[in-house]
Structure 1
Amino acid sequence: MPTILCFWLIAIAVFLVCGRGHKPRKLPPGPSPLPILGNLFQLGREKLYHKAVTKLSKVYGPLMSVKLGNQMIVVVSSPNLVREICQKYDHTFYRRLDLDASRALDHHKFSIAWIPTGKKWNDIRRLFKEQIFSSERLNASQGIRQEKVKQLCDYAHEHSISGQPLNVCAAAFTTSLNFLSNTLFSIDFAHYDSNSCKNLEEIICGLTNTMGRPNLADFFPGLKFFDPQGIRHETEVYFVKLLEAFEDIITQRLQARGASPTSGSGKSDLLEVFLDLCQHREAGWSYNDVKHFLLDLFLGATDTTSSTVEWAMVELLRSPDKKEKARAEIREVIGQGRSVKESDISRLPYLQAVVKETLRLHPPAPIVPRKADTDIEVDSYILPKDSLIVFNLWGMGRDSNLWLNPDSFVPERFLNSESDDKGQHFKLTPFGTGRRICVGYALAQRMLHLMLASLLHNFDWKLEDGIKPEDVDMSERPGLTVQKAVPLMAIPIRTSIWKSLK
């Protein structure tokens, strides 16, 4: 007891001494924090963090401050304020919230998502832009995407014959996974309905769910050593499984290159690019870098794409008139006798509007956190150094001051509209904005539109027997990305278009 009393007396003395001489800062309004805990209870009442901060923002305004433990958080729910912050202070956001989970296996030292802006971050981003997501590379890989989407439609056709409902998200996940694995390794990672696919889906979804769980160690730094909720340990288990799979593939490829040093492995995929970089010492890349880059790619490009396809399909099934309008446009532009191609997307404005409206209602990352490197003055308030600046994309997407009937699925709002989702119109920034905008934006756009258009072109769709559109469960489950809590099970129906293609 004397030891504890002594500790608290010292803590109070330090607080009083250190607190003197500091000028009071005008923080944005927000709920009054409790000592030590901050606003943990106000935010903890809602399991989904983006819904919790949106609810509080309606009370305290579009620029709101809350505190979780030692961490000051400023929630921005206004496009104008997001624009002001990004245009004036984007250079100050050199890092993201240092999630304790990202420290598993030192992933935060290699990942483009977590390392601070600097030379290494610039080098990694340049590699992604020039070698992975450049227009030339994406155009060259169109054939792979076309083949994988055809396999998706073949799988849907099997369900149409049997009359069995299709798990839309799981099927889209397999398609995204195999496209990525073929681009990187020239192999399929999984097959529809196979255990290998289910295992990989469980690993990747488990990772996003685990890393997205509120972690006390993120807000009380003294708890990091103890990992009280086991989140970092659980993340490490998932990381090990994925990294071991990458290690096996890299080892086999190196053996193939060693067996034929003149002609190499005979492959022309991205793994060859990565391995070439590793062999040039001046490039500064290691095999450990490669494995963590691969981890970033699989986490960022699989479940986000598949979940967005699922949300688009469920919104269309709940609005049959919108579904028919989208299918009619595709039939008119594509016609019978051929498949949808990426070059067709620009001629499908209603389909593009469907995707934008889906991203408005269901942004893959509902909040975008940045960490301030210095004090920032916004709207006469001070956003202090080291505070976490959170752009509330989900809240802005459902703000009645910004959108007419914000909770309704209305793709028409984006027809003949200048709004896009490339990070320039701040009402809709599902892929982020500024220097840390998603590097995979171009690939995500191609995959989303191609998969959705192909599913609508080749099949009509209906819900499972006995389920009405208004009865579909639209609840979300927590995680780094917004996932549908109950998977969409829909029955594909063969059309004359599919028969003509076959």
Structure 2
Amino acid sequence: MEPTKTMFSWLETCLLSLFSLIILISFISFKWVKSGSKTKKNLPPSPSKLPIIGNLHQLRSSPVRSLHAFSKKHGPLILMHFGRVPMLIASSAEAAKEIMKTHDLKFSNRPKLRIPDKLIYSSGDITFSPYGEFWRQVKSIAVVHLLNTARVHSFRQVRENEIGLMIDTIAKGHDSLVDLSELTFWLVNNIVCKVCFGRSCQGLKLTNLLERFVHVLGALCVGDYLPWLSWVDRLSGLEDKACKVAKDFDEFLEGVIEEHLEKRKEGDDHSEEDQDFVDTLLDIQRDNTIGFALQRDSIKAIILDVFAAGTDTTYASLVWSISELIRHPRVMNKLQQEVAEVAQGRSMIYENDLEKMVYLKATIKETFRLYPPIPLIPRESMQDVKVMEYDIPAGTQTIINAWAIGRDPNLWEEPDEFRPERFLNNSIDYKGLHFELLPFGAGRRGCPGVQFAIVMYELALANVIYKFDLSLPNGVEGKDLDMSVKNSITLHKKSPLLVIATPRF
């Protein structure tokens, strides 16, 4: 029996209705899911990216400037993707404040990175160790036994002696060419070494080792963002360089520790006042005064942290300050007048004089604004958190672009100009309470060595400017000084600062 026309019509109607129902349910489900996802995750704006590599190819030769350009286009808080890793970029004081103050605890972690792991004993130092009890303990050791106000003051004689030696070295040049980059490196390094190791550490080998360390530490490790392409780091030689630097530094640090242990065996005991930082760490290890065993690798990681960070960032900032003063004779003259008035004809500037030098402090703040020692400050979120109304998932790597904040035209008038006067009637400071100026970071993960670094910086700069008139060789004018930046984890001047230093009296 053949189906009737009515049956065909009924079947057609049922199929059409079913198809329409499926489409309607799919449409409603899609809208619901889309709406629900928006409700759950209101992510920051993101620049367009390529499959697999994300935005990695857009960092180019200067990550600091590349990220700044993206922030100007997409806003102060953006979400980029470095390979498979989401990366939150904060480029305004408001965004930095939310991350480093309002939600400081939630952003107190450091991302786990391969190169610091290789270089610094599985990131067992203060800077790169993950947030937790171990980090709290090693930071406390450094602060209590090296970086607190009383201990920093106790190293005054070391600082003044070393600065006096540097001034004598420059004066003996008799108007010849002086490499101030090299001299300031050895000044800061000698102070740090005498405080940490009880002796200076002169030698080209050590200079080269620290340069290699900083270079490798700041290199882009592809395997951190695309693990299946980690072979690229081996092919480029990055992993081998990191392993070689780690081995060389380990040999140096082992030698320092063994030297101290040998002196103890010989009965060369030190009073508490005479102890250097290595002696203190060995006492803590022996007496087990922190609640857990301080391993030998942990001692070396802490020493390496203080040694490398204490030297590299401070001398880099000194070079930037002197370079800008040479480029701006008006500022140089004003600063020389101030230090001369305070010194009143004495042979050098002493630490007691520094508090009277308002323009010196303004000059240093202006240097930090334009050249923050660590221009990109890393953090990582430990929990889901809302920043500037955007939803940030746990585990999001985060970068605060201190360089971009220091050049934000919404915060600073003529931001590219070197003008210390902007800080003369301005309460903004660099100690982590003002997010317009972040040379040392802020919050829990802010640098604990601010006092240690600043007193070296102020004293050295004041004395160099007090004792010498500085000019460029071959009649080159200050405005033509090369101020290009070396691509590194620390903001360094690319070319050495070569000057003619003429004694002022």
Q: Residue 53 of structure 2: which of 29, 37, 51 is its match?
A: 37
Question: Radius of gyration: which is bigger?
Answer: 2
Tell me the distance in 1 between the aligned counterparts of 2:316 and 2:380: 27
Q: Residue 55 of structure 1: which of 55, 69, 79 is its match?
A: 69
- Map 1:294-313 onto structure 2 (within 5 A): 294-313=303-322
Tell me the distance in 2 between the aligned counterparts of 1:165 and 1:35: 52
Match in the other structure for 2:286: 279
- Which has the higher mean CA deviation after the structures are superposed, 47-56 or 105-114? 105-114
Match in the other structure for 1:500: none
Tell me the distance in 2 between the aligned counterparts of 1:444 and 1:380: 37
Match in the other structure for 2:468: 459
Seen in structure 2, the aligned counterparts of structure 1 residues 68 and 262 have a Cα distance that, compared at 3 Å, is: closer
Match in the other structure for 2:190: 178
Tell me the distance in 1 between the aligned counterparts of 2:258 and 2:57: 49
| TM norm structure 1 | 0.89
Task: Indicate conservation of the 8 Å contact 1:100/1:232, yes or no.
Answer: no
Q: String of CA shifts for 1:41-69, please: whole Å, max 9, x gaps.
A: 2223xx11111100111111111111110
- Which has the higher mean CA deviation after the structures are superposed, 460-469 or 56-65? 460-469
* One-letter identity of the residue aligned with 2:198: S
1:408 match: secondary structure = coil
Match in the other structure for 2:215: 209
Tell me the distance in 2 between the aligned counterparts of 1:472 and 1:263: 48
* One-letter identity of the residue aligned with 1:234: K
Match in the other structure for 2:245: 238
- 1:447 matched to 2:456? The reply is yes
Seen in structure 2, the aligned counterparts of structure 1 residues 391 and 265 have a Cα distance that, compared at 3 Å, is: closer
Q: Residue 180 of structure 2: which of 141, 146, 168 is its match?
A: 168
- 1:259 matched to 2:266? The reply is yes
Seen in structure 2, the aligned counterparts of structure 1 residues 363 and 261 have a Cα distance that, compared at 3 Å, is: closer
Give 1:239 shift: 2.1
Task: Indicate conservation of the 8 Å contact 1:376/1:385, yes or no.
Answer: yes
Seen in structure 2, the aligned counterparts of structure 1 residues 336 and 142 have a Cα distance that, compared at 3 Å, is: same
Task: Indicate conservation of the 8 Å contact 1:100/1:224, yes or no.
Answer: no
Match in the other structure for 2:201: 189
- 1:248 matched to 2:255? The reply is yes
Match in the other structure for 1:339: 348
- 1:386 matched to 2:395? The reply is yes
Match in the other structure for 2:18: none
- Map 1:68-107 onto structure 2 (within 5 A): 68-104=82-118, 107=121
Task: Indicate conservation of the 8 Å contact 1:102/1:232, yes or no.
Answer: no
- Which has the higher mean CA deviation after the structures are superposed, 240-249 or 483-492? 240-249
- 1:357 matched to 2:369? The reply is no
Seen in structure 2, the aligned counterparts of structure 1 residues 394 and 346 have a Cα distance that, compared at 3 Å, is: same
Match in the other structure for 2:477: 468
Seen in structure 2, the aligned counterparts of structure 1 residues 251 and 468 have a Cα distance that, compared at 3 Å, is: same
Seen in structure 2, the aligned counterparts of structure 1 residues 188 and 349 have a Cα distance that, compared at 3 Å, is: same
Q: String of CA shifts for 1:183-236, please: whole Å, max 9, x gaps.
A: 12221111xxxxx1x322221122111111112112113344774333233122
Match in the other structure for 1:218: 224
Q: Residue 492 of structure 2: which of 478, 483, 498 is its match?
A: 483
Tell me the distance in 1 between the aligned counterparts of 2:272 and 2:428: 46
Seen in structure 2, the aligned counterparts of structure 1 residues 218 and 22 have a Cα distance that, compared at 3 Å, is: farther
The sequence identity of aligned pairs, in percent, is 29
Task: Indicate conservation of the 8 Å contact 2:407/2:415, yes or no.
Answer: yes
Give 1:316 shift: 0.3
Q: How many residues align?
A: 468
Unaligned runs of 5+ in 2: 1-32
Tell me the distance in 2 between the aligned counterparts of 1:455 and 1:133: 25
Match in the other structure for 2:122: 108
Task: Indicate conservation of the 8 Å contact 2:121/2:297, yes or no.
Answer: no
* One-letter identity of the residue aligned with 1:483: H
Give 1:454 shift: 0.7
Give 1:266 shift: 11
* One-letter identity of the residue aligned with 2:487: P
Match in the other structure for 1:125: 139
1:73 match: secondary structure = strand
* One-letter identity of the residue aligned with 2:427: E
Give 1:486 shift: 1.0
- Map 1:286-435 onto structure 2 (within 5 A): 286-435=295-444
Q: String of CA shifts for 1:161-181, please: whole Å, max 9, x gaps.
A: 1x2221112111101111111
Give 1:251 shift: 1.2
1:108 match: secondary structure = coil
Q: Residue 161 of structure 2: which of 147, 165, 177 is its match?
A: 147
Tell me the distance in 2 between the aligned counterparts of 1:253 and 1:307: 30
Tell me the distance in 2 between the aligned counterparts of 1:106 and 1:320: 42
Give 1:289 shift: 1.6
1:72 match: secondary structure = strand
Tell me the distance in 2 between the aligned counterparts of 1:265 and 1:397: 42
Tell me the distance in 1 between the aligned counterparts of 2:86 and 2:383: 13
Task: Indicate conservation of the 8 Å contact 1:258/1:264, yes or no.
Answer: no
Give 1:438 shift: 0.3
Q: Residue 66 of structure 1: which of 69, 74, 80 is its match?
A: 80
* One-letter identity of the residue aligned with 1:291: K
Seen in structure 2, the aligned counterparts of structure 1 residues 363 and 106 have a Cα distance that, compared at 3 Å, is: closer
1:276 match: secondary structure = helix
Seen in structure 2, the aligned counterparts of structure 1 residues 94 and 424 have a Cα distance that, compared at 3 Å, is: closer
User: How big is the alpha-carbon RMSD for the aligned residues of Structure 1 and Structure 2?
Assistant: 2.1
Seen in structure 2, the aligned counterparts of structure 1 residues 265 and 428 have a Cα distance that, compared at 3 Å, is: closer
| TM norm structure 2 | 0.89
Q: String of CA shifts for 1:68-97, please: whole Å, max 9, x gaps.
A: 101111111111121122232111123212
* One-letter identity of the residue aligned with 1:164: S
Task: Indicate conservation of the 8 Å contact 2:108/2:445, yes or no.
Answer: no
Q: String of CA shifts for 1:110-132, please: whole Å, max 9, x gaps.
A: 11111112111111111111100
* One-letter identity of the residue aligned with 1:200: L
Match in the other structure for 2:14: none
* One-letter identity of the residue aligned with 2:46: G
1:346 match: secondary structure = helix
Unaligned runs of 5+ in 1: 1-18, 191-195, 497-502
Seen in structure 2, the aligned counterparts of structure 1 residues 267 and 412 have a Cα distance that, compared at 3 Å, is: closer
Give 1:22 shift: 8.6
Give 1:367 shift: 1.1
Task: Indicate conservation of the 8 Å contact 1:77/1:393, yes or no.
Answer: yes
Give 1:151 shift: 0.8
